[in-house]
Amino acid sequence: MEYNFKDIEQKWQRYWKEHGSYKTGIRPDRPKYYVLDMFPYPSGAGLHVGHPLGYIASDIYSRYKRLKGFNVLHPMGYDAYGLPAEQYAIQTGQHPAITTEQNIRRYREQLDKIGFSFDWSREVRTSDPAYYKWTQWAFIQMFNSYYCHDRQQARPIAELVQRFEAQGSAGLNVACTEERSFSAAQWKAMTERERQETLMNYRIAYLADTMVNWCPQLGTVLANDEVVNGVSERGGYPVEQRKMRQWCLRVSAYAQRLLDGLETIDWTDSLKETQRNWIGRSEGAEMRFKIKGSDVEMNIFTTRADTLFGVTFMVLAPESDYVNALTTPEQRPAVQAYLEATKKRTERERQADKKVSGVFTGSYAINPLSGQEIPVWVSDYVLAGYGTGAIMAVPAHDSRDYAFARHFNLPIIPLIEGCDVSEESFDAKEGIMMNSGFLNGLTVPEAIRRAKEYVREQGIGHVKVNYRLRDAIFSRQRYWGEPFPVYYKDGMPYMLPEACLPVELPEVTKFQPTATGEPPLGHATRWAWNEKEQKIVDTSEIDHVNVFPLELNTMPGFAGSSAYYIRYMDPHNDRALVSREADEYWRNVDLYIGGTEHATGHLIYSRFWNKFLFDLGLVCEEEPFKKLINQGMIQGRSNFVYRINGTNTFVSLGLKDQYDTTPLHVDVNMVSNDVLDLDKFKAWRPEFANAEFLLEDGKYVCGWAVEKMSKSMFNVVNPDDIVERYGADTLRLYEMFLGPLEQSKPWDTNGIDGVHRFLKRLWGLFYDREGNLLVSDEPATAEELKSLHKTIKKVEYDIEHFSFNTSVSAFMICVNELSGLKCSKRAVLEPLIITLAPFAPHMAEELYHALGNETSVLDAAFPAYDEKYLVEATKKYPISFNGKVRFSLDFPAGWSKEEVEQAALTHEQTQKYLDGKAVKKVIVVPGKIVNIVL
RNA sequence: GCGUCUGUGGCGUAAUUGGUAGCCGCGCCAGACUUAGGAUCUGGUGCCGCGAGGCGUGGGGGUUCGAGUCCCCCCAGGCGCACCA
C-alpha cells in the first residue's frame, strides 16, 4: 500500500480538532512548560516557506515535552496592529480591519495544513478590543507610576505627590526628564495645571516635547529601533529630527535592570551583546564648566575625566539649550545661520556626510583644573540626545575632536608620554600621563579614577553612569493602532477611568496618514469624552465644561506585542490581564523561538513591560523569556536562465560562457534540481512560447544564487505547495533537516526527496504493497534493539539540545538499519514511532493506531532508552562499520608506548574481537582507551 | 573603527565534546527490477596516484601521545553597534 499522506494528514488533523487534543488548562498535578513563538504580522503576502521554520521547531519541542509528561502551553495569535498591516491596507485601498481579517484567515489556513499543536482556543489578536483593553490598561498604570531609584522599582505616583507635599523635591532620587527643585511650599502653591506638568516630569508614561524621528512619507514618528541607517525600517523613507509633543515610555529608568537581567536568562551571547550595545552603559563624570563673564554654567559628560588638562575647546549640540544662552551678540548671525543649515539636513545626510562643520559661539568656558579660557563651539557632531548635549573636547585623544581641531586650527595638547598626535589622535586608554598636573606619571586607568575622585572632592561635578538607551516614543500619527485612553482638559492629559476600557478605535472616513502629522483620528466624529456622563460622545459636543477632546494619536506596533505572552495564560479573563492563579502556574515563557530582528525592539520593550508589571506585583517573574532561540532566516534560492543577447534562445548553464548572454530570473517552481521544465517555461510568458534551447545532456540546467525571498526574484516557495506535493510531515522533517536551527540558509528543495523517501521506507516496514500489515509480535533481536535504543538516546539528546537536523538523520539511519534487517516487529516499531511523533505527527498517529492503539500518540510516553541494550549489543557487535574497536585497558603509568601496544594486542578483548583478522594499527591513549584498527 | 559569530567533499551538513575526519541526505557513477521512469532496490563516491602510498577540516604558528575541536597571529564572510564623548 502506498503512503498516502494526503488522506492521513487530513484524517488526523480533523481528529485532533474534533477531540480538542491541543486544549490546555492549568493542571497542578503536572509540571508546566511554556513554549512560545513570535506571533506573526498577518501581511498580505501570506506565509512563505521560511516562516514556519521556527514554528516547526517549537512544535517539535512542545510535543516532545508533552510526551515527557509536561503540561505544555503552546499558543498562537496575530500581531495585527501597526504599520505593516496598515501599509498593506493603504496599498490595496481597503479598510485595514478587512484586509487584516482576510490575511489572518489565509495565515490560519496555511498554519493548519502543517499540523501544529497550537491551542487555538487561546488565540489573541492585538487589534481585538478585548485584547487591547489590557494594553490600554497597562498604559494607564504606567501613567500613574514613577520610577524610584532608591527602591529600584516603579511606584504609584500618589506616593510622589505625598512626598512633594511633605518635603518638595528635596533628596529625590527618581527617574525624570529633567532635574527640578522645588519646596513643599512651592508645590502647594502650584495650580492644578502646574502640578500636572510637574508630575509629568516623573511619570513612566509621559507626554513631552522631545526630538523625534519624523518620517514624512509614513506620516508618523518612529522609535529608534524602527529607524535603520537614517531611513525608516519599513519602506526605507528618509527620517528627520523634529521636536514634537509625544507620549513616551521611560524605558531608560530600567536601563540598569535590563542590563543586569541579561545575566539571569538563557539567550545567545550575541543577542545579549546586541542588547548590551543598545543599552550602552558608560561610566564617567558629569562636570560643570563656568563661563567667563556669565552666570551660566554648562554641564558636560565625559568618560575621560583624566584628559581634563587637554581640553582646548567645548562643543554644544545644535539643539542644545546652552546654544542660545552662550551665543554672544556678535556671533549670533553666524550661529543662527549654522543652526538653520543643520536643521535642513536629514538624519541620513548628517550621518552619511562626515565633513567637519561648526561655529564659534563667542563665549569662553573656564577649565576648572587649569583655569584656562577655552572657546565654546557649536557642531552637529555632538548629539543632543546623549549625555548633556555638550562635551569637552580633547583633540589629542579623541578622533572626532581631533578632526574638528584640525579643521578649525585649534590647539592640540598631548597628554600621554610618547604618543604621536601629528597625524591622528591617540584614543587608546593606555600609557603614562604627562602635561596633566597632579595626574602626571599615572597610567590612564589610574588617572581616570583619580580624576573622578578629584572632580567629586572639589565639587566640580559628580560620577555618573550614562546610557545610550532612550525612552521609547509611544505615539504614532496613524489610524491602525490602539487608541490612547486619554482626554485633554485645560491642555493637560487625563486618563479615562479603567471601568470605561476598552476605548475602541473609532470609525473614520479617511484613515490614510497625512504628511503634516495630523493624526487620522482627527477625522473621527465620535471622539470626545463626556467627563460627567463617563462616556464617549460626538466631537461636536466639546464644550470645555464637561466634554473634552480625546487623544488623536495611536500606540505603536510594539505596544500590543509587549505583553501578549502574559495574556495567553488567561486569554478570556475580562477582569484582569491575567489571574493570579494562571500567572503563578504558567509564570513565564520557558522557551521562546523567533527571529533576531527583534533584538532591540520587541525583546527590549517586552522585558521593560514585564519588569514594570513585576514592580506592581502583577506578575511573579521579572524576566519574561527564560530561554530564547533565534531561528535563522530562510533565504531564497533563485534560478536563472541565460538568454543569448538579441535572440530568443536560452543556453544551459554549462554552455553559457560560449555565448554573450543575459541572465533572467525564472520562477523556481518551474525548476527541479536546477533542471528547467521547458514546457512550463514556454507557458510562463507569451514571449517565451517560441523559445529555443541549447541543452546539455538533454537537460536545461539553470544557474542559481542566494537572494532574499521575494516575489520579484520569483523565488518564493509556499509551504502549501510543498504540503500538496510531499505532505506536511515531509515539510516538517525537511525544514529541520536543512541544517542547524539557528543558522540562516537558503531554501533549497533539492534534498526533499530523500526525506520523503525516508517516510516511505518507514511506511514500508508496516505495510506491504498489497496493504497487508506486516507487523508481528515476535521478540526483537539484540541488533534490532540496539538500533532502536541508539536512536531513542540520540533523538532525546538532540531534542534537548535543539539539534533537530541530527535527530532526523538518526531516524533515517534507524530505518535504513531496520529495512536491512527486514524488521517489522511491534517491539521495535512502536517505541520508534512514538519517538518520531514530535517530528512527523500525522504519520506517527496513523501508524500508532495501525498497531491497534485506541488512544492518541499525543498521550503516549516518550520511550526510555535502555543502556543495557546498547552495552550488550556493543559486546556482541564491537566492531563498528569503519573497523575500529575501542575498549579500556589498565596499565601502569610508567609503561612505554611499545609496552602498552604489546599489552593491547595480547589483551583478551583484542583477541576476542580480532577473530582472525589482521591488526593494522594500535592507538594508545593515556586515558586508558585503546583503539585498534583492523 | 568596536563588539560578536562562522569557515569541513561538487552541495546541505555530521563528528561520542580533545580520541585519530566526512555520519545522514542531495548529486554523481555502476548494477538489479521494469514497456518506461523524475518509481523502487543494491553497491560505490574527500583529493592525488595504476599501485604501494601520500595529502587533507580558510592560512601560519603553538600546547598535547593525539587538534576540525584548545591558545596566539593573519585571511575571508555574516550579524550587531557606530560621530554615544
| pLDDT band for position A908 (cuts 50, 70, 90) | low
Residue A849 pLDDT > 60: yes
Query: Apex CA A39: angle with CA A38 and CA A42, to 5°?
Result: 140
Q: What is the pLDDT of residues A406-453, one digit of tens each?
A: 999 999 999 988 888 888 888 878 788 999 989 999 988 888 889 888
A386: left (phi over 0), alpha (psi -120 to 50) or beta: beta
When pLDDT is averaged across residues A317-330 and rounded to a whole number, the result is 91
> Integer distance in angstroms from CA A816 to C1' B2?
51
- Tell me how far CA of residue A118 lies from CA of A55, A58, A61, A572, in angstroms: 10, 10, 12, 17
Q: Which nucleotides of B are covered by protein (CB under 7 A)?
A: 3-5, 11-15, 17, 19-27, 38-42, 65-66, 78-81, 83-85
pLDDT at residue A898, rounded to an integer: 56
C-alpha cell at A362: 563667542
pLDDT at residue A26, rounded to an integer: 97
pLDDT at residue A885, rounded to an integer: 47
Could you count the other beta carbons within 10 Å of the beta carbon of residue A109? 12
pLDDT at residue A922, rounded to an integer: 53
Residue A756 pLDDT > 90: yes
Q: What is the pLDDT of residues A449-469, one digit of tens each?
A: 898 888 889 888 888 888 989
Residue whose CA is minimally distant from B85 C1': A302
When pLDDT is averaged across residues A880-884 and rounded to a whole number, the result is 36
Residue whose CA is minimally distant from B16 C1': A794
Bridge pairing between strands A472-473 and A240-249? antiparallel
pLDDT at residue A904, rounded to an integer: 59
Determine the nucleotide nearest to A301 by Cα–C1' distance.
B85
Residue A897 pLDDT > 70: no
Lowest mean pLDDT among A356-360, A378-382, A483-487, A864-868: A864-868
| pLDDT band for position A866 (cuts 50, 70, 90) | confident
| pLDDT band for position A848 (cuts 50, 70, 90) | very high
Residue A914 pLDDT > 60: no
Q: What is the pLDDT of residues A262-288, one digit of tens each?
A: 988 988 878 888 898 889 888 889 999
Helices (H) and strands (E) in chain A, counts: 30, 35
Determine the nucleotide nearest to A351 by Cα–C1' distance.
B83
Residue whose CA is minimally distant from B5 C1': A270
Buried b (16+ CB within 10 A) or exposed e, A762-785: bbbbbbeeeeeeebeeeebbebbb
- Tell me how far CA of residue A420 lies from CA of A192, A406, A416, A442, in angstroms: 61, 15, 9, 19
Determine the nucleotide nearest to A819 by Cα–C1' distance.
B41
Lowest mean pLDDT among A104-108, A123-127, A817-821, A919-923: A919-923
pLDDT at residue A587, rounded to an integer: 97
Residue A506 pLDDT > 90: yes
The answer to whether the Cα torsion of A801, A805, A806, A809 is positive or negative is positive
DSSP letter, residue A921: E
When pLDDT is averaged across residues A127-150 and rounded to a whole number, the result is 97
Residue A480 pLDDT > 60: yes
> Integer distance in angstroms from CA A304 to C1' B3?
21
Determine the nucleotide nearest to A389 by Cα–C1' distance.
B85
> Integer distance in angstroms from CA A597 to C1' B77?
20
When pLDDT is averaged across residues A192-217 and rounded to a whole number, the result is 92
pLDDT at residue A698, rounded to an integer: 72
> Integer distance in angstroms from CA A765 to C1' B67?
42
When pLDDT is averaged across residues A876-886 and rounded to a whole number, the result is 38
| pLDDT band for position A903 (cuts 50, 70, 90) | low
Lowest mean pLDDT among A367-381, A597-611, A901-915: A901-915
Residue whose CA is minimally distant from B78 C1': A744
Determine the nucleotide nearest to A746 by Cα–C1' distance.
B12
Q: What is the pLDDT of residues A697-713, one digit of tens each?
A: 777 878 777 777 777 77
> Integer distance in angstroms from CA A1 to C1' B28?
31
Residue A888 pLDDT > 70: no
Residue whose CA is minimally distant from B24 C1': A809
Determine the nucleotide nearest to A596 by Cα–C1' distance.
B79
Determine the nucleotide nearest to A808 by Cα–C1' distance.
B24
Determine the nucleotide nearest to A357 by Cα–C1' distance.
B83
pLDDT at residue A353, rounded to an integer: 66
C-alpha cell at A829: 516499531
| pLDDT band for position A564 (cuts 50, 70, 90) | very high
Q: Are A190 and A183 in contact (CB under 8 A)?
A: no
> Integer distance in angstroms from CA A93 to C1' B57?
56
pLDDT at residue A886, rounded to an integer: 46
> Integer distance in angstroms from CA A722 to C1' B29?
30
Could you give the ipTM of this predicted complex?
A: 0.93
DSSP result, A17-51: HHTTTT-----TTS-EEEEEEPPPP--TT---TTT
Lowest mean pLDDT among A106-120, A524-538, A705-719, A897-911: A897-911
Q: What is the dihedral of CA A98, A99, A102, A106, to 10 degrees?
A: -160
> Integer distance in angstroms from CA A404 to C1' B22?
57
Average pLDDT, chain A: 87
Residue with more model confidence, A355 or A260: A260
Determine the nucleotide nearest to A679 by Cα–C1' distance.
B38
The model carries a pTM of 0.90
Residue with more model confidence, A91 or A166: A166
The listed range with the strongest mean pLDDT (A117-121, A685-689, A709-713) is A117-121
pLDDT at residue A326, rounded to an integer: 92
Residues 6+ apart with CB under 8 A from A437: A309, A369, A370
> Integer distance in angstroms from CA A729 to C1' B25?
16
pLDDT at residue A592, rounded to an integer: 94
Residue A289 pLDDT > 90: yes
Which is nearest to A797 in space by CA: A862, A847, A738, A859?
A862
> Integer distance in angstroms from CA A889 to C1' B64?
21
Q: What is the pLDDT of residues A733-747, one digit of tens each?
A: 999 999 999 888 888
The listed range with the strongest mean pLDDT (A261-265, A334-338, A748-752, A881-885) is A334-338
**Alpha-carbon span A836 to A832, nearest angstrom:** 6
Could you count the other beta carbons within 10 Å of the beta carbon of residue A826? 15
**Alpha-carbon span A819 to A450, nearest angstrom:** 76
> Integer distance in angstroms from CA A62 to C1' B59?
44
| pLDDT band for position A352 (cuts 50, 70, 90) | low
When pLDDT is averaged across residues A776-805 and rounded to a whole number, the result is 92
| pLDDT band for position A167 (cuts 50, 70, 90) | very high
Residue whose CA is minimally distant from B25 C1': A754
Determine the nucleotide nearest to A385 by Cα–C1' distance.
B84
Q: What is the pLDDT of residues A55-114, one digit of tens each?
A: 999 999 999 999 999 999 999 999 999 777 777 777 777 889 998 999 999 999 999 999
> Integer distance in angstroms from CA A518 to C1' B14?
59
pLDDT at residue A901, rounded to an integer: 58
Beta bridge partners of A112: none
